[in-house]
Structure 1
Amino acid sequence: MALADFKLEDRFARNEGDVAMSGVQALLRVLVDQLRADRRDGMNNAAMVSGYRGSPLGGIDSLMLGNPQELVDNNIEFVPGLNEDLGATTVWGSQLANRNFDGKFDGVLGMWYGKAPGVDRSGDAIRHANVCGVDPKGGVLLVAGDDPASKSSTLASESEFALLHFQTPILYPGSVQEVADYGRIGYELSRYSGLWVSLKIVTNVADGYSTIKVGPGRVQVERPDFEWDGVPWQHTQQDSLFGPLAVRQELEIHEGRMEATDAFTRLNKLDLVTGATSDARLGIVAAGKTYYDLREALDRMGLDESALKQRGVRLYKPAVVWPLEANGVKEFARGLETIVVVEEKRAFIEMFMREILYGSTNAPTILGKRDASNGFWFPGHGEMDADLIARKIRPFLVQHLGEDSVGPAVRERITIPVSLGAPDSKKQSNRTPNFCSGCPHNRSTWVPEGSEAGGGIGCHGMASMTPTRNVKGTTQMGGEGVQWVGAAPFVTMDHRFQNIGDGTFHHSGSLAVRQAVAAGTNVTYKILYNAAVAMTGGQDVDGGMTVPELSRSLEAEGVSKIMVLTHDTEKYGEDAKFADGTEVWYRDRLDEAQRMLRDVPGCTVLIYDQPCAAELRRDRKRGKVAEPTMAVFINEAVCEGCGDCGEKSSCLSVQPVETEFGRKTSIHQSSCNKDFTCLDGDCPAFIEVVAGGAVPEKSALAIAEIQADQIEPDRLDEGNVLMIGIGGTGVVTVN
């Protein structure tokens, strides 16, 4: 396929061939290809997708909502979960459509998605649904997003042990292509075994972007001739788990579904063996992304496929990391003296390799998290990459293969000299996290003198990194304020503020408020209402309420007093129905409002209502919101450089500037979001400018001026590009 023949829209529309997409986008392609394959096989199937957004799967809901025609054309229903466990229950319900009701389709596929904390909190729903079984013509794919380096999570994550506990087979793709392929395999395995099948996706795979091959006929699987209790295998689907029924389903999982999973994996040769297939003494095991990091590390040291065969090194890449297929593991281990398991986090594959090979004749030594001397070897923390693997494994390979057989761990790389000028020692400092210019959290997270606030999940959590805010601690999503419920009886402090975003409140935090009310705890919840889930893409809050509706809901919960602070007190209109006694003030009175609420016994709530600055900026660029006509400048000749405006606003656009008269302050116009909190100080240096006259049209490139015979500049066929940006979203957007 020529490059000119491809359009980005083809990633879902093209029936088969080469397309380009990200790891997250490949999940929609999985559904499309599976449904197309089902239609080819004579089944009129549909699909249900539900879950909760969270990095590295933060864009799935935007992906689904952004491709409505693909959903309609393929009978895909997308229902965002208010939280992860309700999303899992929604998917569970989709599998009962044909069992308990008069179904409209032959089968229903289910897809649940969530990051690792969502996997944890959804365990009860997933276990129940998994024991009940799936639609025989449908099946469920459980997509678990893992963030091993804790780039956008409070905890570094690995979901394997939770998924093992739920008894869901685990497929671990290491590339975008494998997301597309393993997703299809997962559905076929699910409907055959009767189990929910997990797809573990790490950050680098979810955010990765590549050209892949797709098509309904790309994945071909066979069903084993497996018998259980003397009859051809067919799992039992239940919707009731009382007494004997639950025990019977448990039996079927252990002796039926797991055996069916092994038979499926074995027959379809899902696991990959490379390198020396015979006369090997050393074996190395890795799965998913880690397998490709391992191959890169080995290639750097001169150990490509032919070198591995020559030196007697065999590699094993399990597609299904649990349950490991025992016959395949034993065949791989035959003749080996030593097996090294390379995997991120705790020993998982290594544990089951030991279990399978223990007691076998001439069983090889198995190493991984610890070396032959029982010292720590491959780390059980953080994220692995090719550099780390190369440094860790090279001494071992030299010992077993010889110095001449193994190249350096990190080869000399081609570097491009870039002149950055002489370093300024005064500017050498770590970049601390801060809020966007005009972010409402810049102001809303302050507390009165003598008070402190609890931190939580969301952008506002950065306040805990700013000493002047007196915001302390963190908690799991939805637990905001309940730590204080447990601590309050045992401390001298008699009141605390608690920050919570409106997205978290609607996800699960409303129960935390109810808990505080029930316990009679003196706490003021500050619900930071910006009507967007800013950390995962600025999506609307699922199940969200307007501020007046929210006040009435809180009143019904038993909150002692409710106050609303906003940048625009007229926005609600005269007909707004707030809870009785709710006071609506302008945001400048934050300190006064907080002092009032902290003196009210029991649980009180302050709703701070102001739009997310990043979303407001986007809406202005898209013409959805009018651009303010006023701009603010600072007259450097008048400015004394005291920094009071920066202290008042905590705004990144208020920046120091060196002048011939010393250090002054300026407004960085291109990043200014026109929140104007910098005007709160009483400073004569500020100038308010209202533009007048005609607005010049934006200049555009005159295509017609380009000569037809103009020679295009040379372009590299391949090369490396260094992307520099704040946070990961910018790089993902470029992809």
Structure 2
Amino acid sequence: MSDVSLHDCYAQDSGRAFATGTQALVRLLLEQARRDRKSGLKTRGLVSGYPGSPLAGLDHELTRAKSFLDADGIIFQPAVNEELAATALWGSQHLHLYDQPDIDGVFGLWYGKGPGLDRSLDALRHANMGGVSKFGGMVFAVGDDATGKSSTLAYQSEQTLIAAGVPFFYPRSVHDIIPMGLQAFALSRHAGCCVGLKIVVDTADSSAILDLDADRPQMDMTDADAGPVHIGKHDAALLRESRLFDLRLPAVIDFQQRHAINHTIGSSPSTNSSTNSSPIESGRLGIIAVGKAVPEVVEALSSLGAADYNKRGIGLMSIGMPWPIASRTLIDFASHYDEILVVEEKRPVVEDQLARAVVNIKKRGVISGKYCPEGRPLIPQTGELSHQLLCDVIYARAASHDIALDPITPYKQPDNLPAIAARTPWYCAGCPHNSSTKLPDGEITGMGIGCHSISGFLTPDAITNYTQMGGEGAFWVGRAPFSSHTHSFQNMGDGTYAHSGYLGVRAAVAAGVNITFKILYNGAVAMTGGQAVSGGQTPWMISAQLAAEGVRDIAIVTDQPDAFPRGVTWAKNAKIYHRSAIIDVQKKLKDIDGVTAIIYVQSCATELRRGRKRGKLPDPPEMVLINEAVCEGCGDCAQKSNCVAVKPVWHPEGEKKQIDHSLCNKDYSCISGFCPSFMTLTGTAPKTHKDMVLPADITLPEPALPTGISNIFIAGIGGTGVSTLSGILVMAAHLDGIAGQAVNQTGLSQKNGGVTSQVRLSRDQSLNQRMVRLPTQAASLLIGCDGVVAAHDLALTTLHKTATTAILNTRLDPVGVAGVGIGSVVSDDLVLARLAAVMDARNIHQIDASDLANRLFGATMSSAIILLGWALQKGHLPLRVAAIEAALRLNAVDVAQNIAALQWGRLLAVDAARVIALTRPEQTATPDKADEMQSAASLISFFATQLTTYQNDAYAAEFTAVIRPFMNWLEKTGFDADHFGCKAARALYRAMAIKDEYEVARLLTSSKARQNITDMAGANAKINYHLAPPFLSWIRDKDGHPRKLKFGGWLTPILRGLGKMRHLRGRWYDPFGYGHAKQQEQRHKGAVMAWLQQLVDIPQTCPPDQLDKMLDLMLSIRGYGHVKEQNYQTACPQIEACLEAMRMPPHSVDTAAE
């Protein structure tokens, strides 16, 4: 194990090495350089392109591998856009025509996703028609997003490549990338053409253990002369066309046949079988599988009990080069079967070539693929193939030829499966787009390409449809002459602006339309991994460009107006504003004729966090803390900040808010929420958590190792280590000498959306020939880092009724942001109900791993490792403990913490009581978990005690006098007393325990508050309060509300004294008793009391749903000042309507509903 390194996939010459799909592409370049050197060629390499999923991380890998690339003479040039990258690569093929090089040639690799290929088609067509150099070569690695998970469209790039006459390979898995890539370069040189390499999610986002010795195909074309196929200086257009179709493509066919790129697997009735195995006598069903469909078909045949498919009259051909295919290869295979089934995703490419090839032969069977022989649809032309679909198709086609297979039990969604909200992407904590994408009320903006497009999930009614990258603004150019609107806004990221978006600005100026471009400058191409923007334009450079293009007015909006370097030159019509003025700035620019622009400057939050963690950027000294006792849970802070770090927390009074410091990027915009609960702490010294390692007296037994294939489904939230966890498992498999592979499905999900990983481990190396995803209902283990994602449809299809074990983290983060309309908290019961509908409930286990990680390490990031430790100790992983610990060390991130987390997870599996005893402090008198206060009686008693502390016994008695008759009424009606009683008690308590100046002061300075601060930030932390005192209410913010001001720790003794003056509350000499806020609170208190008293007189036959709705509305009246007043004004008429509905006779209610 000590000899293994993360760089083995680049440094090793032979043996086995862990690699991801993108790392395999980097290794391909190194292999090509080394292969040339061994052949006596003096070549260099050039790689260029533009990031985009599923190849979003390739440039990161190229950067990390710079020392290896430099050593082998390979240059990495990040491109401004894909089209120019393709042109630059073709330029390298002209070297020997115009220069005096000291090398034999330059081999070039282009990378990009489907839309980038579309954009580059003109450049690609020129290169392919013009040809490449004899010792150079051009390969296009095209990333196809088949489901549109992180693209505006679902992509299939085959037709684009074919239109340009570009032959292409389609690797089946990560294992094929290097050998097929080497064949692609060899083919490019032999035939003088460009060659494509189709890369899909299941190859790019996969990890596997490569056999480096098997990745070097033997290729010898010394006896093959393709003719004048290579690049010339000034070939005429018709000559270029002729050379492509008359010389180069025939040379491609020759190369393909010589190297059996498309070949049969196993036995075949054909005497031309590429294998040495004995041919079978007859064939009834021949299956031609394309690219990644090959291992999927192998998996389907195994699931159908036909691992010995050759003996059953079934043949299988693997297509590694889908276009062009030698007709003879197809005819040789097809002529020996009664039916040929072509399995390929999306629109047919191979099937059409097969039909053309066999149309004139005498003996031919029927062809099925997109349609069955009878003309019914068979394999869809959209989306991607599923394991169950392939099993169904193969079973049906085999049955039509009397081939008996074992049917699989199809996954069927259970009847009445409760619906669950989707874990949609959301901006990172502190993301500039939380503020930059805000619009004046009633406005609509144009959507663009980039992280800011997430606003399409959040405010879909305030944003237009997508365009292609670079089309931003042109939408409005076409709409403007016919629209009832006179102006539009348009979002555009700085990466898009540099890529091609500036042309949209020029087009808008030329068209004379009224539009405001919002150029969101965060210094990184954050959507694809935080790469630096090619070109390196600064905000002031962009302002000068915009002014030169004719933009009328330019506003620079930023979170730090004073942070720009002195002496930089801005455009003359540019003015700098603080981000708090973003709405006012937009209103101003909207009224200016012509094109205007906002350059919103704020660093990408994720890149800031990385820079701070690595010590490259200063870490702001202030930590934000919410005093949960003061918090009303109104969500104004979440609405102001739009921040995912503002999380819900359970409290006896109801849901409150807290800051998740594992996510917080110190943007501080949440502080602007109108609430006195916020404090900022400086001089913090968080707990060091010295006790995080297991006590020395604990010895954990070595877990048992399962046999067979371990199929593991991991579900979680983007940015919490799900993809890292899958990589650790595959690396551990490598260290343990067994087979392992995994695929991550992320896309936009890395931005707080749902992320899944599917991992397969086995001691049988033939696993490498199987599909990387889990077959239907084959999961042996579900690791639910997030219950919402774990209970979604994708995961459910992999679960088996009896064979799956699930381990879930009980922490359920809200879907969206707490306090915002889209934000909601999914109940634990809903998650369990969905899982129990498809698997044995006894196999579902729950751990509050986030809480345990926080107690042990002061952060929640290791919660996934705790779950992994539990699963390991329970015997669900075929890996030794030492292998996983070694993989964690290789990962080199928080090594000691993660190894400790693994050990604590293992201990939890064998002695949960011991873990609880070691990590949980003594419970206080105040319950802090929902399940510790389920009954209305206990909650009422608790609130009565709290009101005595709040005021006195008489005040508590007043509470009891109102709530008791209501509870008696509930008993008479037969309604759920605990459900409705708890809601009513909370509503009444919150109305009576008014958080006035005395109460806020008492809660801010309580011993519990001080202890929380000490636990979070150390005993020496300095406190700053953020308050809007009534005697300073004349100081207003831009919206006309009292402005919150910052007060230092000197205020603490004053607050402590004020908290002790609560006996003044309600007296005629109460200095705060005559303010508007106090009168508003008294009105609210009286209204809640009156509503509950009116309910007692309601007929016992009233509809319970109206009662439930009314109590929820009463609970919605929360917050401070104008926030609470607005909630009160919104709720009052609806509450009165509920009361009226409950007073009506039952039949009248039904009639009214109709």
TM-score tier by shorter-chain length is: over 0.9
Could you report, residue by residue, the CA deviation over 1:438-486 in whole angstroms, capped at 9, with x for unpaired residues? 1111111111123211111111111122238712221111111101001
- Structure-1 residue corresponding to 2:363: 362
1:680 Cα deviation after fit? 1.7
Determine if contact 1:656/1:665 at 8 Å carries over to the other structure: yes
**Residue number among 629, 634, 653 corresponding to 1:637 in the alignment:** 629
**Residue number among 281, 287, 293 corresponding to 2:296 in the alignment:** 293
Structure 2 CA distance for aligned equivalents of residues 158 and 342 of structure 1: 15
- Structure-1 residue corresponding to 2:332: 331
- Structure-1 residue corresponding to 2:1128: none
1:237 counterpart = 2:238:
no
Structure 2 CA distance for aligned equivalents of residues 43 and 697 of structure 1: 57
Structure 1 CA distance for aligned equivalents of residues 198 and 553 of structure 2: 45
1:344 partner letter:
E
Structure 1 CA distance for aligned equivalents of residues 26 and 691 of structure 2: 36
1:363 Cα deviation after fit? 2.2
Structure 2 CA distance for aligned equivalents of residues 20 and 659 of structure 1: 47
Structure 2 CA distance for aligned equivalents of residues 582 and 151 of structure 1: 38
Counterparts of 1:456-471 in structure 2 under 5 Å? 456-467=448-459, 470-471=462-463
- Cα gap change, 1:441 to 1:469, in 2 (>3 Å): farther
Determine if contact 1:36/1:216 at 8 Å carries over to the other structure: no
- Structure-2 residue corresponding to 1:172: 170
- Structure-2 residue corresponding to 1:527: 519
1:66 partner letter:
R
1:282 counterpart = 2:281:
no
- Cα gap change, 1:224 to 1:362, in 2 (>3 Å): farther
Task: Report percent identity of matched pairs.
Answer: 40
Structure 1 CA distance for aligned equivalents of residues 718 and 375 of structure 2: 39
Q: Secondary structure at the match of 1:324?
A: coil
1:276 Cα deviation after fit? 4.3
- Structure-2 residue corresponding to 1:265: 256
Determine if contact 1:517/1:557 at 8 Å carries over to the other structure: yes
1:641 Cα deviation after fit? 2.6
Counterparts of 1:509-524 in structure 2 under 5 Å? 509-524=501-516
1:710 Cα deviation after fit? 9.0
- Structure-2 residue corresponding to 1:502: 494
Answer with 645-654 or 525-534: which moved more.
Answer: 645-654
- Structure-1 residue corresponding to 2:966: none
- Structure-2 residue corresponding to 1:126: 124
1:439 counterpart = 2:440:
no
1:316 Cα deviation after fit? 1.1
Structure 2 CA distance for aligned equivalents of residues 60 and 46 of structure 1: 19
Structure 1 CA distance for aligned equivalents of residues 7 and 224 of structure 2: 42
- Cα gap change, 1:729 to 1:195, in 2 (>3 Å): farther
Structure 2 CA distance for aligned equivalents of residues 20 and 391 of structure 1: 34
2:681 partner letter:
V
- Structure-2 residue corresponding to 1:392: 393
- Structure-2 residue corresponding to 1:665: 657
Structure 1 CA distance for aligned equivalents of residues 648 and 719 of structure 2: 27
Gaps of 5+ in 2: 270-281, 412-416, 728-1154
Answer with 134-143 or 266-275: which moved more.
Answer: 266-275
1:254 counterpart = 2:254:
no
Determine if contact 1:97/1:103 at 8 Å carries over to the other structure: yes
1:334 Cα deviation after fit? 1.9
Could you report, residue by residue, the CA deviation over 1:239-273 in whole angstroms, capped at 9, with x for unpaired residues? 435xxx11112111111111111111111222121
1:668 Cα deviation after fit? 2.5
Answer with 600-609 or 670-679: which moved more.
Answer: 670-679
Determine if contact 1:275/1:308 at 8 Å carries over to the other structure: no
Could you report, residue by residue, the CA deviation over 1:680-730 in whole angstroms, capped at 9, with x for unpaired residues? 2332222222235x56556498899799x9975555576233222224994
1:655 Cα deviation after fit? 2.8
Q: Secondary structure at the match of 1:512?
A: helix
- Structure-2 residue corresponding to 1:190: 188
- Structure-2 residue corresponding to 1:409: 408
Structure 2 CA distance for aligned equivalents of residues 525 and 179 of structure 1: 42
Structure 2 CA distance for aligned equivalents of residues 196 and 342 of structure 1: 26
Determine if contact 1:50/1:81 at 8 Å carries over to the other structure: yes
Structure 1 CA distance for aligned equivalents of residues 696 and 721 of structure 2: 32
Counterparts of 1:536-551 in structure 2 under 5 Å? 536-551=528-543
Structure 2 CA distance for aligned equivalents of residues 469 and 582 of structure 1: 31
1:48 Cα deviation after fit? 0.7
Answer with 547-556 or 192-201: which moved more.
Answer: 547-556
1:98 counterpart = 2:92:
no
Determine if contact 2:346/2:381 at 8 Å carries over to the other structure: yes
Answer with 631-640 or 119-128: which moved more.
Answer: 631-640
Determine if contact 1:275/1:313 at 8 Å carries over to the other structure: no
- Cα gap change, 1:733 to 1:711, in 2 (>3 Å): closer
**Residue number among 577, 580, 587 corresponding to 1:585 in the alignment:** 577
Determine if contact 1:311/1:401 at 8 Å carries over to the other structure: no
1:392 Cα deviation after fit? 2.8
1:206 counterpart = 2:209:
no
- Structure-2 residue corresponding to 1:720: 711
- Structure-2 residue corresponding to 1:48: 46
Structure 1 CA distance for aligned equivalents of residues 425 and 106 of structure 2: 45
Structure 1 CA distance for aligned equivalents of residues 376 and 390 of structure 2: 16
Q: Output the TM-score relative to the length of structure 2.
A: 0.59
Q: Secondary structure at the match of 1:363?
A: coil
Q: What is the number of residues matched between the two proteins?
A: 710
Structure 2 CA distance for aligned equivalents of residues 438 and 82 of structure 1: 27
In proportion to residue count, which structure has more helix? 2
Counterparts of 1:414-429 in structure 2 under 5 Å? 428-429=420-421
- Structure-2 residue corresponding to 1:417: none
Answer with 1 or 2: which has the greater Rg.
2
Q: Secondary structure at the match of 1:723?
A: strand
Q: Secondary structure at the match of 1:156?
A: coil
Determine if contact 1:207/1:732 at 8 Å carries over to the other structure: no
- Structure-2 residue corresponding to 1:181: 179
Structure 2 CA distance for aligned equivalents of residues 473 and 528 of structure 1: 18
Structure 1 CA distance for aligned equivalents of residues 570 and 70 of structure 2: 39
Determine if contact 1:276/1:308 at 8 Å carries over to the other structure: no
Structure 2 CA distance for aligned equivalents of residues 705 and 90 of structure 1: 61
- Cα gap change, 1:540 to 1:355, in 2 (>3 Å): same
Structure 2 CA distance for aligned equivalents of residues 562 and 581 of structure 1: 6
- Structure-1 residue corresponding to 2:667: 675
1:338 partner letter:
E
Counterparts of 1:474-485 in structure 2 under 5 Å? 474-485=466-477
1:60 Cα deviation after fit? 1.4
1:502 Cα deviation after fit? 0.6
- Structure-2 residue corresponding to 1:571: 563
1:225 Cα deviation after fit? 4.4
Tell me the C-alpha RMSD between the 2 structures.
Answer: 2.5
Determine if contact 2:285/2:398 at 8 Å carries over to the other structure: no
Q: Secondary structure at the match of 1:380?
A: coil
Could you report, residue by residue, the CA deviation over 1:285-334 in whole angstroms, capped at 9, with x for unpaired residues? 11111111111001110111xx3222211111122110011111111112
- Structure-1 residue corresponding to 2:950: none
- Structure-2 residue corresponding to 1:421: none
1:602 counterpart = 2:603:
no
- Structure-2 residue corresponding to 1:488: 480
